[in-house]
Chains A and B, each alone.
Chain A
Amino acid sequence: MLLTVDAAGVLPSAAAVLRLLDRRQAGGVADEVLQAVEAALHRAPEQMTPRVVWTTRPLAVQQGHLVVLGRSRGESPLRWSRDGVPSHLAAAGQVSLAVVTLGPELEDESTAAFRRGEYLLGLALDAVGTGAVHRLMAWTRARVRAEARAAGFDAGVPAGPGYDRWPLDDLPAVAAAAGGPLAGVTVTSGLMLDPGKSLCRVIPWLMEKRGGRP
């Protein structure tokens, strides 16, 4: 499922942006910092094209591996070593593979701000993007969770390649299977998602863990 999400809906709060900016001074926030955060929050929605894409597939455990089955002949199974993957995924009957992105514009705007000498704004735009992309993933998880609940499951904690011992080498296949290219997300030779303000996660559907029928 590919959705375009209202940018304003995933904007983080000013307080969240300040936290992301590493506000360590307890006494308060300087006017200029607050103004930069406000300016970034004001400008960011025009520089964001939040998109989410996810697909849900059955998961099986086979010979020490977790295997995400394809639902049709065209879809290749994904095979992950059970040792590297967070253990809660092994309890899932199926998983949603999700990619979210804000698109490249916000990062470009942040870089441009640095080049113009508006360092604080550049920094704030970057922090807004970081907050927004995580909110976008939270929003996606909620959507997946609603689907899961309707089917008598619950959506567990998202994880992904690069988490803990899960090799980052699995990232390109997961991102591709999730439909990342549909959302304009690719993986660089250095195994980073491009655009940078993107996330790739695997959301397990766990049996009746919560939200089920009483």
Chain B
Amino acid sequence: MTRLLEWLTDRRVLVLDGAMGTMLQAQGLPPGGSPERWVLEAPDRIEAIHRAYQEAGADLVETNTFGGSRPKLAEYGLEGRVRDINARAVELARRAVGVRALVAGSIGPTGLFLEPLGPLSFDLAVEIFAEQARAFEEAGADAVIIETMADLAEIRAAVIAVNSTTSLPVIAQMTFDPGGRTFAGTDPAAAVATLEGLGVAVLGANCSLGPKELFPVAQQLVRLAKVPVSILPNAGLPVLEDGITRFPERPDSFADWGRRLAEAGVRLVGGCCGTTPDHIRALRAAVEAVRDRVQPLPTKTTPASAVASRIRAVEFSDAAGPIIIGERINPTSRKKLAADIREGRFALVRAEARSQLAAGAHLLDVNVGVPAIDEAPAMRAAVTAVQQAVDAPLCLDSPDPLALEAGLKVYVGRPLLNSVTAEEERLARVLPLVKKYGAMVIALALDDSGIPMTAEGRLAAARKIVERAEAMGIPRQYLLVDCLVLTAGAQAREAMETPRAIRLVKEELGVRTVLGISNISFGLPARELLTSSYLTVNLAYGLDAAIANPLEPRVWESVRSARLLLGRDPDAGEYLAFARPWAEARATQAAAGAPASATAAAPAAAAPRAGPRPLQGAAAPEFARLGPLEQNPLARSLFQAVLEGNREGILPLTEQALEQGVGPMDILNGMLIPAIEDVGDKFGAGIFFLPQLMLSAEAMKRAFHRLKPELEKLKDGRAERGRVVLATVEGDIHDIGKNIVAVLLENHGFRVMDLGKSVPADRILQAARSEEADLIGLSALMTTTMPRMRDVVQKVSQQGLPVQVMIGGAVTTESYARQIGAHGYGKDARAAVDLAKRLTGEPAGSSAPADAAS
């Protein structure tokens, strides 16, 4: 047991020292001067500060080496003195406090980002931190405290450096924003998963905030962490007084917060910026008052089975499970993906990552196993690309330990490795990686003899891995045992050995389990049926996670159903929400006269993804909008195609309608326009969202394009409701809102001349004149560009142009329209359509264009 742990066990709560920087400045360190230089040049003053803190009651003091890394010392020309300064700093602290307090070597950030955000490679970062750590141990430090870290990648490198080069216990502290995340976005759960995985003795938070603001972070850390938690707040939030930064928290109130922290379960409390020996003295007294009420340190804890990205953690637990690990970043049998990986292109990899995550995957498996490539650089590039694209934790999947390590070096957070087996060589090469990089690992239940055919054989292989891992200090909670799926097409009789093995290893070994589920259906038709059924069977036997295709809806059917049946969805809320589209689709089809068979009502059979189509749910069609003559299956199908945004389906339906002798005007006015108006109403009511509106508009446009030549055969000249010249005014380059208005106007039968953005008034008038426009539509985003609308209106008036002007845009209003003499204002795209209809002489919402046939 380390001295740190002994003291923690003995004293339950330890008091750490306070700020060094502000104390040094009080001792005369000039602004911008090197604090670490004083280790060499003013050792007496450093020693005096340590002594003052120890005498104030600190159980642990930190060395004056926060900026003692090579890059930080280089700012003062001291890069050649790293060992001297860090070792000497430990000696000074020890001389000051003797055996009355522990000495922790302090490591702060280098000030550099790790690749790919910055210039620092992982290996170089480890080397930099290791240099400090070695000096600490050689000089007799009791621990290393890594502090004020905001970047999970950097603190991870620092912990790995200390662990790799010393036997010192590590206190690892990050610094959090008031929102409870580090500036790089890491939340407490991701920090805990990553740091505990790396085996730190203590984890916590320091700096940035005062105790009041850090308290919620502390509560989260205590709840999540199995190791002791340390909190070292600033003396409040700084204020600037007369050009000087001051920290307002007084010792008594600071100490009161310290008491609260101890009562909340924090085991190490101390101070950061702005705190003084007076703060620590008061803190010590406050802690003494509650020490007896604090629970003794538990002698044994069960670490959580969790992985993390830079941003967030995913825990393998009954409550959260089953966890779905997306399997699609794998070049096996995927030529395009394989070619991309071979050529170092990762756009498709990123797209796969995004789509799987959007479909609900919790983790993503990353496999770059293209034949005959060097997997290590490919894995490094793929991990970087995927981590840049999505915020999910990753599963690094390779048979090559070098590729695994390449991925581990650039990974930010705590990954899952895929995989280790009970084969001797694999154990010897993969488990050290798991230990060093603090990963979780999938343990395949096979050994040097291959895959055992029986559940008992797989249990034996799993047991061997668990025992070997624990002998290396890797808790079994960090393993996910894969009891292996054999192909049903070849070995159907053995299929049930896998769920039996799952039950056995969970009962006998107390581990979590995972399966690469898709293998069951290899070589068989309708694979998704068999795969999802097999998933359900294994979930019933206790499976915790599956490597599967999250884009396959049946996976989610199994998951949602199993969560309900296994009691993890006690009020069935998740299931009901998931199943609602099914029920509504069935009701819709019944209402539409479709046979109410199970197949017809099963969206999963029609929809390739888990998400419901826009038609489902609240977006059910309002066939009542169709006139009495249009109440037939074809009209309903066209109506529905617009509503669904069915771009492929609408053209054949339009052709069919024409072939059946329905007039193009009847198709347009009787079927399509009522549908797009229904879409507009749903958008206005908040049922549809903008993408759905655009989707329907695209479908509508395709049908309209097909009808246009037919319409023009009917009449010479205008086969439209009216002509609109649209433009964003001069000086305004916002385009998108105007584009949307153009789309909807066209959908409703207007002919639109879109002049684009930043269009001068004269050009707008010229176009209105040459196109014989009925309307000018003007868009402006900014108050600074609105006056250009007035210019256009004035010129229209001055030139006596027979055209009306309507305006819209984020900052425009009805009253502004009146003020400048415009003929109307549309608050959004749909209102603009209604306005255009009204201005061209047609009642808003009418489905019969006044002049379309004239």
A residues neighboring B (CB under 8 Å)? 6, 8-9, 11, 13-15, 18, 21-25, 27-34, 36-38, 41-42, 45, 91, 107, 110-111, 114-115, 117-120, 122-124, 126, 139, 142-143, 145-146, 149-150, 152, 168, 188-192, 194-196, 207-214
Contacts and interface: CB of A to CB of B under 8 A. Distances in A.
A38 B208 CA distance: 38
A195 B735 CA distance: 11
Contact of B238 (A8, A110, A146, A209): A209
Interface string B835-848: 00000000000000
Interface string B340-364: 0000001110110011011000000
Contact of A214 (B272, B607, B612, B785): B272
A117 B783 CA distance: 30
Contacts of B21: 212-214
A196 B175 contact: no
Nearest to A212: B273
A212 B207 contact: yes
B784 interface: yes
B756 A111 contact: yes
A189 B730 contact: yes
Nearest to B731: A190
A27 B208 contact: no
Given A14-B358, A110-B735, A209 B112 contact: no
Interface in B648-698: 686-692, 694-695, 697-698
Contact of B784 (A143, A149, A191, A212): A191
B282 interface: no
B739 A111 contact: yes
B595 to A, nearest CB: 24
A213 B733 contact: no
A9 B686 CA distance: 33
Contact of A207 (B238, B607, B613, B742): B238
Nearest to A15: B358
A209 B611 contact: no
Contact of B389 (A11, A145, A149): A11
A111 B735 contact: yes
B758 interface: yes
Contact of A142 (B117, B208, B245, B734): B117
The 8 closest A-B pairs by CB, nearest first: A190-B731, A28-B611, A213-B21, A190-B785, A210-B208, A119-B694, A189-B731, A150-B111
B594 interface: no
B297 to A, nearest CB: 25
B475 interface: no
A36 B350 CA distance: 15
B183 interface: yes
A152 B72 CA distance: 12
Interface stretch (B77-85, B526-534, B614-622, B793-801): B614-622
A117 B690 contact: no
B75 A33 contact: no
Contact of A211 (B150, B357, B783): B150
B19 A214 contact: yes
B108 A213 contact: yes
B701 A190 contact: no
Which interface residue of A28, A110, A142 has the most chain B CB atoms within 10 A?
A28
B385 interface: yes
Contact of B782 (A41, A45, A192): A192
Contacts of B103: none
B273 A38 contact: no
A67 B612 CA distance: 56
Contacts of A8: 346-347, 350, 385, 388-389
B733 A27 contact: no
A18 B611 CA distance: 13
B691 A14 contact: no
B326 interface: no
Contacts of B148: 211-212, 214
A68 B74 CA distance: 30
Given A13-B354, A27-B616, A194-B733, 18 more contacts: A8-B389, A15-B358, A27-B580, A30-B645, A31-B608, A36-B695, A38-B355, A41-B351, A122-B739, A123-B694, A142-B117, A152-B32, A188-B732, A192-B782, A196-B733, A209-B208, A209-B238, A214-B147
25 contacts: A13-B357, A25-B619, A28-B611, A28-B612, A33-B692, A33-B695, A34-B611, A37-B358, A41-B354, A45-B347, A119-B739, A120-B698, A123-B691, A123-B740, A142-B183, A146-B111, A188-B731, A190-B782, A192-B734, A196-B733, A209-B245, A210-B209, A212-B207, A214-B20, A214-B62
Interface in B172-199: 175, 177, 183-184
A13 B619 CA distance: 26
B237 interface: yes
Interface string B31-69: 010010000000000000000000000000010001100
Contact of A34 (B32, B106, B272, B609): B609
Nearest to B691: A33
A210 to B, nearest CB: 4
Contact of B732 (A14, A25, A124, A190): A190
A30 B785 CA distance: 37
B735 A196 contact: yes
Interface string B4-33: 000000000000000111000000000010
Contacts of B701: 117, 119
Interface of B: 19-21, 32, 35, 62, 66-67, 75, 106, 108-109, 111-113, 116-118, 147-148, 150, 175, 177, 183-184, 206-209, 232, 234, 237-238, 240, 245, 272-273, 346-348, 350-351, 354-355, 357-358, 385, 388-391, 577, 580-581, 607-614, 616-619, 645, 647, 686-692, 694-695, 697-698, 701-702, 705, 729-736, 739-740, 742-743, 754, 756, 758, 780-785, 788
B137 to A, nearest CB: 21
Nearest to B615: A30
A24 B687 CA distance: 7
Nearest to B646: A32
A21 B689 contact: yes
B611 A29 contact: yes
Nearest to B149: A211
B207 A210 contact: yes
Nearest to A117: B701
B733 A192 contact: yes
A39 B408 CA distance: 30
A120 B351 contact: no
B238 A120 contact: no
A72 B66 CA distance: 34
Nearest to A45: B347
Nearest to A32: B695
Contacts of A27: 577, 580-581, 611-612, 616-618
Nearest to B67: A213
A192 B358 contact: no
Contact of A15 (B118, B272, B357, B730): B357
Contacts of A32: 645, 647, 695
B355 A149 contact: no
A21 B691 contact: yes
Contact of B730 (A29, A111, A190): A190
B610 to A, nearest CB: 7
Contacts of A212: 21, 148, 207, 273
A149 B781 contact: no
Contact of A114 (B209, B245, B705, B742): B742
Which interface residue of A124, A145, A209 has the most chain B CB atoms within 10 A?
A209
Contacts of B391: 13
Given A30-B614, A149-B109, A9 B116 contact: yes
A115 B705 CA distance: 13
Contacts of A146: 111-113, 118
Contacts of B694: 119-120, 122-123
Nearest to B348: A42
Contacts of A37: 358
Contacts of A34: 355, 358, 609, 611
A107 B758 CA distance: 14
